[in-house]
């Protein structure tokens, strides 16, 4: 057996045995266990679980792949997701925790005193989470396809079976403690190859410092070498961006504000004992998240430089060994168009007076950059297997959290709160598990047939969350005037506008998906920022011409937003 495959089986097998053991030991016995882990998770454990929930396949695979491929433009993913978590932790989480509801639709239904608002929120939550989870299942398929030597489709199916087991069985209680273990696996898997490659390239094991240092004592900085090689091959300068400023701003804003509206992240703050614990766990989560996010730019630079140098060494009469292994998955391909036996990997940017560029012969899936990087750098087989296990941990941890949100939205908010309030605890738990099982199947289908690479698909989910949930949550906490009519109109208009824009350019007319045809030059990944404004404007206008919220709602807002002593004197 191939050493890489053997180590992958060993490390991934041990980690999954641990996950399944934890899921069985933490099996949910009540709806409170299933939805919020009984509300008694310690702050540091909740911080670890939140970090694992947050750092999905988009963070572990997609973000570094996007930065590696897009250069400076890919930094909007890093800024948006990092800033978004800070915004969520400081602005919204403590207030939502004080409100004391299990889910975001539950908050919206009670705050806006309307079953219709609750149902609209349920639909939005399911739509957002399905979009998000598709990216995670795609990430699982990518990892399994390479390291189990199976097709991506079978990789997704294997991932579906694993998620189904511990998400449906354990609920939030099982998922929380499973995610603690998954964070330890994924961060170790992300950092170990980073240390190796940083030392290999710059003689400094700290990747955050190494990628700004000299390249192998050549007297040339790593970024300078990457810029020069990128320009030479027709890709343009790596450290310069090609996206417009407005598009970068809107993508960053959509990711940031979408974070604050993501149901699977918000529900994490209900799993602790009290409001102060929610703040503490937010601090721990931010610390754990920062470890990976400050390393991702270095990983991206190392991977890009390694790739360009590996495929452009001359003379070469055959593809390198790592390339042949990845080509079996269909995620990287080479067609020798000029029959010279060399891999020509070229862009389209040509300096004035330069000779014509060779036709590009190499196609690389963005989502394999992090996974292939250790093989390109010729690291030990156990490191490559460790990265595979980390990628699986990242994708499956978030997928489980998202599936839980879908199941609770269906069972708790739709059935229990709307259709049949007389459901017993046992019946509600059964419906939640059935909903989670159905969600796994649908998510698996879209993981097999994704609309784009992992980070891009996840960006769509953030845009949908920003345009639907963020405005009504903020107005629900900070505005006593906002009523149910405004909230409903805002959610429907915001998510409809955003979804229609994404569908038009990504599915209906992909040939028009370029800056020339975009509204104000804003890409589908960033359109959630405009959808958010649409939500705010429509909600404000409708609220202005409809009856204001009842007095007891104003009192409710005060009780959530103001310190208890201040509220008592109010």
DSSP line for 86-135? HHIIIIIHHHHHHHT-SSHHHHHHHHTT-HHHHHHHHHHHHHHHHHHHHH
Tokens 């409903």 correspond to what residue?
488
Q: What pLDDT score does 438 carry? A: 81
Range scoring the smallest mean pLDDT among 30-44, 252-266, 414-428, 479-493: 30-44
What band does 167 get if pLDDT is binned at 50, 70 and 90?
low
Rg (CA), the chain: 24
Range scoring the smallest mean pLDDT among 188-192, 255-259, 415-419, 534-538: 415-419
Question: Which among 200-204, 256-260, 321-325 has the top mean pLDDT?
Answer: 200-204
What band does 250 get if pLDDT is binned at 50, 70 and 90?
very high
Residue 542 lies in a domain: yes
The region that residue 43 occupies, defined by phi over 0 for left and psi between -120 and 50 for alpha, beta otherwise, is alpha
Percent of the chain with pLDDT over 90: 9
Whole-angstrom CA distances from 114 to 106, 163, 198, 255, 533 are 10, 34, 55, 29, 23
pTM of the model: 0.78
DSSP line for 272-312? SSSHHHHHHHHHHHHHHHHHHHTTHHHHHHHHHHHHHHHHT
Q: What pLDDT score does 542 carry? A: 95
Contact call for residues 226 and 301 (beta carbons, < 8 A): yes
Range scoring the smallest mean pLDDT among 43-52, 83-92, 216-225, 539-548: 83-92
Whole-angstrom CA distances from 70 to 61, 77, 238, 371 are 14, 11, 8, 17
CA distance 263 to 123: 12
CA distance 488 to 484: 6
pLDDT of 520 above 60? yes
Compute the half-sphere exposure of residue 214: CA atoms within 13 Å on the CB side of its CA.
Answer: 6
DSSP line for 421-489? TT--HHHHHHHHHHHHHHHHHHHHHHHHS-SS-HHHHHHHHHHHHHHHHHHHHHHHHH-SS--HHHHHH
| Of 257 and 459, the one with more pLDDT | 257
Q: What pLDDT score does 566 carry? A: 43
Contact call for residues 141 and 159 (beta carbons, < 8 A): yes
CA distance 130 to 264: 11
Average pLDDT estimate for 179-189: 83
Partner residues linked to 424 by β-bridges: none
Mean pLDDT of the chain: 79
Q: What pLDDT score does 454 carry? A: 57
| Of 289 and 265, the one with more pLDDT | 289
Q: Which residues does 10 contact at the CB level (< 8 Å), separation at least 6?
A: 385
Q: What pLDDT score does 316 carry? A: 56
pLDDT digits (tens, 9 = 90+) for 30-87: 555 555 544 567 778 888 888 877 776 667 777 777 788 888 888 888 888 778 877 8
The shares of helix, strand and coil residues in the chain, as percent rounded to the nearest 5, are 75, 0, 25
What band does 495 get if pLDDT is binned at 50, 70 and 90?
very high
Contact call for residues 89 and 286 (beta carbons, < 8 A): yes
Cα dihedral 465, 471, 477, 483 sign: negative
Task: Tell me how many domains the chain contains.
Answer: 1
What band does 163 get if pLDDT is binned at 50, 70 and 90?
confident
Residue 322 lies in a domain: no
CA distance 363 to 345: 8
pLDDT of 404 above 80? no
Cα dihedral 141, 142, 144, 148 sign: positive
| Of 156 and 36, the one with more pLDDT | 156
Cis preceding linkage at 315, omega within 30: yes
pLDDT of 405 above 80? no
Q: What are the backbone dihedrals phi and psi of residue 314, each rounded to the nearest 5 degrees, phi first?
A: -135, 150
Residue 344 lies in a domain: no
Residue 321 lies in a domain: no
pLDDT digits (tens, 9 = 90+) for 326-356: 776 667 777 777 777 777 777 777 666 566 6
Residue 556 lies in a domain: yes
Residue 368 lies in a domain: no
> Which domain does 426 fall in, by range?
3-304+376-564
Residue 169 tokens, joined: 């069985």
pLDDT of 510 above 90? no
Average pLDDT estimate for 220-244: 83
Range scoring the smallest mean pLDDT among 151-160, 171-180, 286-295, 405-414: 171-180
Average pLDDT estimate for 151-180: 72
Percent of the chain with pLDDT over 70: 83
Q: What pLDDT score does 233 carry? A: 78
**CATH assignment at residue 254:** 1.20.1730.10
pLDDT of 171 above 70? no
pLDDT of 147 above 60? yes
Q: Which residues does 294 contact at the CB level (< 8 Å), separation at least 6?
A: 208
Q: What pLDDT score does 564 carry? A: 53
Q: What pLDDT score does 284 carry? A: 86
Residue 198 lies in a domain: yes
Residue 152 lies in a domain: yes
Question: Which among 111-120, 229-238, 413-422, 451-460 has the top mean pLDDT?
Answer: 111-120
Closest to 522 in 3D by CA, of 319, 320, 248: 248
Q: Is 409 exposed, middle or buried (0-12, 13-18, 19+ CB in 10 A)?
A: buried
Residue 37 tokens, joined: 């882990």
Closest to 360 in 3D by CA, of 340, 337, 341, 376: 337
End-to-end CA distance of the chain: 72
What band does 570 get if pLDDT is binned at 50, 70 and 90?
very low
What band does 451 get if pLDDT is binned at 50, 70 and 90?
low
Question: 3-state DSSP call for residue 217?
Answer: coil
């Amino acid at each position: 057996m191939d050493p890489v495959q053997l180590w992958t089986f060993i490390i991934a097998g041990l980690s999954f045995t641990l996950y399944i053991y934890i899921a069985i030991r933490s099996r949910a016995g009540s709806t409170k266990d299933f939805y919020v882990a009984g509300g008694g998770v310690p702050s540091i454990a909740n911080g670890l679980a939140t970090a694992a929930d947050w750092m999905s396949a988009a963070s572990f695979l997609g973000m570094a792949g996007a930065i590696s491929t897009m250069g400076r433009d890919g930094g909007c993913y890093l800024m948006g997701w990092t800033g978004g978590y800070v915004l969520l932790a400081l602005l919204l989480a403590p207030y939502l925790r004080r409100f004391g509801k299990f889910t975001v639709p539950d908050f919206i239904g009670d705050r806006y005193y309307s079953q219709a608002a609750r149902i609209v929120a349920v639909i939005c939550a399911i739509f957002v989470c399905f979009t998000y989870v598709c990216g995670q299942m795609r990430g699982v398929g990518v990892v399994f396809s390479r390291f189990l030597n199976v097709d991506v489709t079978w990789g997704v199916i294997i991932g579906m079976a694993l998620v189904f087991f511990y998400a449906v069985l354990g609920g939030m209680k099982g998922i929380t403690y499973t995610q603690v273990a998954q964070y330890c696996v994924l961060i170790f898997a992300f950092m170990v190859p980073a240390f190796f490659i940083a030392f290999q390239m710059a003689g400094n094991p700290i990747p955050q410092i190494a990628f700004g240092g000299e390249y192998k004592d050549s007297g040339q900085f790593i970024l300078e070498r990457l810029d020069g090689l990128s320009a030479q091959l027709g890709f343009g300068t790596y450290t310069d961006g090609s996206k417009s400023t407005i598009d970068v701003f809107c993508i960053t804003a959509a990711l940031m504000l979408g974070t604050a509206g993501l149901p699977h992240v918000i529900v994490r703050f209900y799993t602790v004992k009290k409001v102060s614990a929610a703040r503490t766990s937010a601090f721990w989560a931010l610390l754990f998240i920062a470890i990976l996010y400050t390393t991702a730019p270095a990983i991206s630079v190392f991977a890009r430089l390694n790739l360009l140098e590996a495929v452009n060494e001359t003379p070469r009469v055959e593809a390198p060994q790592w390339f042949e292994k990845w080509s079996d998955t269909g995620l990287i391909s080479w067609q020798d168009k000029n029959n010279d036996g060399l891999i020509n990997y070229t862009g389209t940017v040509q300096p004035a007076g330069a000779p014509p560029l060779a036709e590009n012969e190499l196609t690389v899936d963005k989502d394999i950059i992090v996974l292939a990087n250790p093989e390109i750098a010729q690291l030990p087989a156990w490191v490559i297997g460790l990265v595979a296990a980390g990628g699986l941990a990242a994708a499956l941890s978030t997928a489980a959290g998202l599936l839980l949100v879908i199941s609770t939205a269906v069972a708790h908010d739709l059935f229990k709160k709307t259709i049949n309030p007389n459901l017993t605890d046992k019946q509600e738990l059964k419906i939640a598990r059935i909903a989670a099982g159905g969600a796994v199947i649908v998510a698996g289908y879209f993981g097999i047939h994704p609309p784009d690479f992992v980070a891009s698909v996840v960006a769509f989910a953030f845009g949908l969350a920003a345009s639907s949930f963020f405005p009504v949550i903020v107005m629900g906490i900070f505005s006593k005037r906002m009523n149910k009519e405004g909230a409903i109109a805002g959610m429907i208009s915001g998510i409809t506008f955003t979804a229609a824009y994404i569908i038009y350019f990504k599915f209906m007319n992909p040939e028009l998906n370029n800056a020339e045809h975009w509204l104000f030059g804003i890409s589908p990944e960033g359109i959630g920022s405009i959808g958010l404004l649409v939500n705010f404007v429509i909600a404000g206008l409708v609220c202005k011409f409809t009856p204001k919220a009842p007095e007891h709602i104003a009192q409710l807002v005060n009780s959530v937003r103001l310190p208890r002593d201040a509220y008592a004197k109010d």
